[in-house]
Amino acid sequence: MIDKILSQILYGVSGFFFAIFAVRFSRVAITKVKLTWQQRGFGAAFLLSCLPSIIFLLFAIFLFPILFYTRTPIGGFVYLATYIFFNMKVRRHK
């Protein structure tokens, strides 16, 4: 019983820390995409220079929560709640 409780707590903590990581680097990726869009416009150069950022955003928004949710619903819920909360908080300050 205690081991199940501890594992759920650890999944929740890992979901929190992965979400903090994802929020920080997704904000960096979004900034890079915006700056590249303003400098180059849409084209092949834009896609090639922003491809890693776009892939990271897809992973952060879709793949990480799915991976957490398949392991434990608590980890996925904490990840999504933290990701949404901190994205809204960062957006409010700008």
Task: List the domain boundaries for the chain.
Answer: 2-93
Is the Cα torsion angle 40, 42, 48, 50 positive or negative in sign? positive
CA distances (Å), origin 4, targets 8, 17, 71, 72, 75: 6, 20, 13, 11, 13
Name the average pLDDT for the chain: 81
What residue has token string 């929560």? 65
Decide if pLDDT at 94 tops 70: no
Distance CA(27)–CA(19), nearest Å, equals 12
The string of pLDDT tens digits covering residues 19-46 is 888 888 888 887 888 888 777 777 777 6
Q: What is the DSSP letter of 7?
A: H
**pTM (2 d.p.):** 0.73
Q: What's residue 3's pLDDT?
A: 85
